Amino acid sequence: ETGVTQTPRHLVMGMTNKKSLKCEQHLGHNAMYWYKQSAKKPLELMFVYSLEERVENNSVPSRFSPECPNSSHLFLHLHTLQPEDSALYLCASSQDGTSGSFAYEQYFGPGTRLTVT
């Protein structure tokens, strides 16, 4: 079992709904990530938080809003999503990479399978 948990595991929402995805890591890491995985596409990095500060936002639409209240918790707030946003949303954590010249391995949660109707 991984030390990263995600809730809910499955979510169906309409385009006008607001929902939040939650991630919690129990590994003592201080960097957390949100990824999107669509069918037949590689994982796409959405957001990176290091020491609770957002350090990267990969041109993600504003209908996705991350929040990192502490080093163990990460949220992804969703509003007015589109059907093409249906995907598996994965949270990951790692030790904090310092200089950016190398990266620590990341550990993933089980994901939230999101369907937007």
Partner 1 sequence: RKEVEQDPGPFNVPEGATVAFNCTYSNSASQSFFWYRQDCRKEPKLLMSVYSSGNEDGRFTAQLNRASQYISLLIRDSKLSDSATYLCVVNRRGSQGNLIFGKGTKLSVKP
Q: How many angstroms separate the CA atoms of 110 and 32, rounded? A: 14
Q: Shortest gap between Cβ of 48 and partner 1 (angstroms)?
A: 6
Token digits for 7? 């809730």
Instruction: Output the CA–CA distances (angstroms, integers) from residue 80 to 4, 12, 76, 85, 94, in the order listed.
Output: 27, 13, 13, 10, 30
Which string of x and - marks every residue 55-94 that binds partner 1 (by CB under 8 A)?
A: xx-------------------------------x-x---x
Token digits for 106? 């990341």
Q: From 11-19, 66-74, 78-86, 97-105, give the range in contact with partner 1 by CB under 8 A.
A: 97-105
Q: Judged by CB under 8 A, does residue 2 bind partner 1?
A: yes
Q: From 13-21, 62-70, 79-87, 107-115, give the range in contact with partner 1 by CB under 8 A.
A: 107-115
Applying CB under 8 A, among 5, 17, 43, 86 the residue interacting with partner 1 is 43
